[in-house]
């Protein structure tokens, strides 16, 4: 497992994003199992240790500790766009 921890000043406090990734994970058994790459990106406050956000996912493109942050941000943006386009806000019903 590849792990990288950095520090980032946000203007009010210091965040500590920790990137963890595993490569060539086989979620299924058998000859036709697809090899995927897993990542996790928890962000905590440096002073209190409080977890501010958590992002994880499985992807079939190769990951490095340098591009996991960009991949996590892109996945989050795509999910928010999809949720809003299908009426994910309360009170919106499609008939």
The segment with the largest mean pLDDT, out of 11-15, 17-21, 28-32, 78-82, is 11-15
Tell me the per-residue pLDDT of 53-77, one tens digit each, with 9 for 90 and over.
888 888 888 887 788 878 877 776 6
| Number of compact structural domains in the chain | 1
Structural domain includes residue 72: yes
Structural domain includes residue 65: yes
Please say whether the beta carbons of 32 and 95 come within 8 A.
no
Structure tokens at 11: 């203007």
What value does the mean pLDDT of the chain take?
79
Structural domain includes residue 17: yes
Structural domain includes residue 92: no
Instruction: Judge whether residue 95 has pLDDT over 50.
Output: no
pTM, two decimal places = 0.64
The segment with the largest mean pLDDT, out of 7-16, 27-36, 74-83, is 7-16
The CA–CA distances, whole Å, from 79 to 8, 51, 52, 86 equal 25, 21, 19, 11
Structural domain includes residue 94: no
Instruction: Judge whether residue 48 has pLDDT over 70.
Output: yes
What is the domain extent for residue 63?
2-85
More confident residue, 62 or 43: 43
């Amino acid at each position: 497992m590849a792990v990288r921890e950095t520090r980032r000043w946000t203007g009010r406090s210091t965040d500590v994003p920790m990137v963890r990734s595993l490569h060539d994970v086989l979620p299924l058994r058998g000859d036709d199992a697809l090899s995927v790459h897993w990542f996790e990106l928890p962000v905590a406050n440096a002073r209190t240790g409080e977890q501010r956000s958590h992002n994880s996912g499985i992807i079939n493109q190769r990951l490095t500790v340098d591009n996991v942050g960009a991949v996590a941000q892109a996945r989050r943006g795509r999910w928010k766009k999809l949720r809003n386009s299908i009426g994910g806000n309360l009170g919106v019903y499609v008939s």
